[in-house]
Amino acid sequence: MKKVIAFGALFAPFMASAQIAQGASTVGGLISFLKDFLSTATVIILAAAVVYFLWNVFGYVMSAGEPEKRAEKQSGIIYGVIGIAVMVSIWGLVNFFTTSAKLDTSVKSAPGLSL
């Protein structure tokens, strides 16, 4: 049931045939939209990993007398730290290589088609 709700919330604008963006009718606009979408998705996924980590820390503290739950929450804390570290390090590596190679990160527009 949770998967159905998540799927519906994620794809609701597409099912409603909502307009994506004003400039998305061109290739450059679509690339700009995808870049913005991926940037937002990255921040949301990182925030979810932090919430997962904090939820497990809270559960670890609250399960002081129960060794089984404590071990479960401890593994969740470890997975949360690993997930956050991987996401932040990849994000940092991409930014480091982009700036060190002096890459142009602006969106280029594709040439128009004349029929």
Enclosing domain of residue 71:
45-102
Mean pLDDT comparison of 6-10, 27-31, 100-104, 111-115, highest-scoring range: 100-104
CA angle 77, 1, 72 (to 5 degrees): 20
In a domain, 60, yes or no: yes
Identify whether the C-beta of residue 46 lies closer than 8 Å to the C-beta of residue 84: yes
In a domain, 71, yes or no: yes
The model scores a pTM over 0.85: no
Of residues 95, 91, 92, the one with CA closest to residue 105: 95
* pLDDT over threshold 70, residue 7: no
In a domain, 53, yes or no: yes
How many domains does the structure of the chain reveal? 1
* pLDDT over threshold 60, residue 63: yes
Ramachandran region, residue 101 (left: φ > 0; alpha: ψ -120 to 50; beta: rest): alpha
* pLDDT over threshold 60, residue 49: yes
pLDDT value at residue 8: 62
User: Torsions phi, psi of 50, nearest 5?
Assistant: -65, -40
